[in-house]
Amino acid sequence: MRDAGHGAMFMVFVSEGLWSIMSLVRNFAVYFNDRQDTMDSSTILRLSVPCEVFFNATSLWFILIAYEIHRRALRPRSERSSRTAMLRYCIGIYGIAACLMATLFILDVTGFQIEELDDDTGKPKKEPIAEYVLGNLSWATWGIRFASVLFAGAMAVQLFRKKHHVAYQKLPMALVWIVVVFCLLNTPYLVLEPLCDFEVIHIAGIPWMPSALKCATYLHGAVIAVILGQSVAGFDLFFQVRRRIRRPSKAIDFFVLSETQEFYGGLLGFEEGRSSALWQDYNMLGHQFVVHEVGPNYRGIDYHNPVGTMQLVCTSTLAYLLPSLDMDDVPVPHMGVCLSVDEFHALAEKVKSKNIPFIVEPHLRFVGRKGEQWTMFFKDPSGNNLEFKAMTNSENLFAKYVEE
């Protein structure tokens, strides 16, 4: 899963498809019930349960689409973060859906009833509790769909206001049309349906209104599918390819942000501070560490500087120098932080536990000399070389001496 917004969009159509199938089966059940759409029929009641649940799942996925597209445009997730988000979304939405369906089916099978007043006669009557819950659930369904329309509209407006901060070449125009269609086709139902229920509008004179409102609401899936089908190239550009690069004039850029967030904030556990679509601040063990976007193809270039001591080897005829066992092939350029010995070993264990490969393994160098230090080197995902060291005597960090 490359992006949670892309995945959420796919899951909308999964939910729409499941809801459409169940609605079609339910319509056939109504037709064979002498065209009486009543919950008194156990078949219609049981088919109404998944219809209601999948309709709500679709609304929830639309909310998540709006959020994830807004986030991708301004502050994209890494692939790992997207996978984690999608797993949580699926467990949350379909977990709730499964629990709700199981509960309603159990209530229906057990035959529990509740007593309430008949709307027509005003007399007490017994009603199956599953039917009662499902009838009142329709208000929750209305509320969730209303929230999805408002949230999608709000995210679209906010994204428009921040269009100059968008981290991509451009937003697909189809996104605008999807939001417009979704709002236009759902708003009449959301506004007029409650007015009909509370008899502010009397449908006796306009019997076609409820059907027309539902038809408009049900059409949004087909219309959005057509829009997406005509805009595949724009969505592929938005979800999968290179981002727009806009650097501050004096910034030194080293990083691919989507990879950096997962590495420094996730694997190494450095606390993230201020950030934008083009840069991020991290607390690197008490030091401000700033990374800038350079695009997905950047990788650091390595040079190497063998650092250590030399051994004088003498034979009967000649003398020559060989590197000692503490000679390290130090990558250049590199950057990093000086730590205490305890901090060094704690970080080294964390790096090992995350299976980050070392360029230079954690070890003690320059033993017995002023420069004695614990050191390790490894790369970040952009190819930049990181060094973390700890002087065994912190006073020697800036001591003036020459290694021989």
Tell me how far apart the alpha carbons of residues 67 and 9 are, in angstroms, rounded to a whole number: 11
Name the E strands within 21-148: 113-117, 124-128
The answer to the question of residue 102 being in a domain is yes
Nearest-CA neighbor of 177 among 209, 127, 225, 105? 225
Q: Are residues 193 and 54 in the same domain?
A: yes
Domains held by the chain: number? 3
pLDDT tens digits, 120-139: 676 777 888 888 888 888 88
Q: What is the CATH number of the domain that holds 334?
A: 3.10.180.10
- Asked whether residue 159 carries a pLDDT value surpassing 60, the answer given is yes
Is the peptide bond between 333 and the residue preceding it cis, with omega within 30 degrees of 0? yes
Q: How many CB atoms lie within 10 A of CB 104?
A: 23
Nearest-CA neighbor of 225 among 190, 155, 178? 178
The answer to the question of residue 401 being in a domain is no
Calculate what percentage of the chain has a pLDDT beyond 70.
74
**Average pLDDT of the segment spanning 233-259:** 47
Torsions phi, psi for 127 (to 5 deg): -130, 135
Tell me how far apart the alpha carbons of residues 287 and 271 are, in angstroms, rounded to a whole number: 11
Pick the range with the lowest mean pLDDT from 60-74, 78-92, 109-123, 370-384.
109-123
- Asked whether residue 197 carries a pLDDT value surpassing 80, the answer given is no
Q: Are residues 30 and 81 in the same domain?
A: yes
In the numeric block, the tokens 């499941």 are attached to 18
Across 9-18, 235-244, 257-266, 283-292, the highest mean pLDDT is recorded for 9-18
Q: Are residues 272 and 376 in the same domain?
A: no
Q: Domain range spanning residue 268?
A: 245-297
The answer to the question of residue 404 being in a domain is no
**Average pLDDT of the segment spanning 256-265:** 64
The answer to the question of residue 26 being in a domain is yes
Q: Are residues 234 and 254 in the same domain?
A: no
Q: Are residues 112 and 138 in the same domain?
A: yes
* Stronger pLDDT, 82 or 296, i.e. the higher one: 82
Q: Are residues 290 and 381 in the same domain?
A: no
Structural domain ending residue among the three candidates 256, 272, 297: 297
Q: Are residues 177 and 321 in the same domain?
A: no
pLDDT tens digits, 41-60: 888 888 999 998 998 999 99
The answer to the question of residue 403 being in a domain is no
The answer to the question of residue 164 being in a domain is yes
The helix/strand/coil state of 28 is helix
Tell me how far apart the alpha carbons of residues 126 and 243 are, in angstroms, rounded to a whole number: 62
Confidence band for 376, pLDDT divided at 50, 70 and 90: very high
Contact criterion met (CB below 8 Å) for 230 and 174: yes
* Stronger pLDDT, 387 or 292, i.e. the higher one: 387
- Asked whether residue 32 carries a pLDDT value surpassing 50, the answer given is yes
Q: Are residues 287 and 332 in the same domain?
A: no
Task: Give the strand pairing for 271-275 and 279-284.
Answer: antiparallel
Helix (H) / strand (E) containing 323: strand 319-323
Nearest-CA neighbor of 389 among 351, 326, 324, 335? 335
The answer to the question of residue 195 being in a domain is yes
Tell me how far apart the alpha carbons of residues 23 and 250 are, in angstroms, rounded to a whole number: 59
* Stronger pLDDT, 66 or 168, i.e. the higher one: 66
Q: How many Å from the N-terminal Cα to the C-terminal Cα in the chain?
A: 54
The answer to the question of residue 370 being in a domain is yes
Q: Are residues 218 and 332 in the same domain?
A: no
In the numeric block, the tokens 């997905």 are attached to 296
pTM: 0.54
Query: Using the 8-state DSSP alphabet, how is residue 231 labeled?
Result: T
**216: Cβ contacts below 8 Å, ≥ 6 apart:** 185, 186, 188, 189
pLDDT tens digits, 83-105: 899 999 999 999 999 998 898 88
Q: What is the CATH number of the domain that holds 197?
A: 1.20.1070.10
Structural domain ending residue among the three candidates 240, 266, 284: 240
Q: Which two tokens stand for residue 252?
A: 């030194």
Q: Are residues 255 and 360 in the same domain?
A: no
Q: Which two tokens stand for residue 214?
A: 């539902």
Confidence band for 319, pLDDT divided at 50, 70 and 90: very low
Confidence band for 349, pLDDT divided at 50, 70 and 90: very high
Tell me how far apart the alpha carbons of residues 257 and 295 are, in angstroms, rounded to a whole number: 8
**Average pLDDT, rounded, for the chain:** 76
Tell me how far apart the alpha carbons of residues 237 and 239 are, in angstroms, rounded to a whole number: 6
Q: How many CB atoms lie within 10 A of CB 281?
A: 16
Q: Are residues 81 and 213 in the same domain?
A: yes
Q: Are residues 70 and 154 in the same domain?
A: yes
pLDDT recorded at residue 10: 86
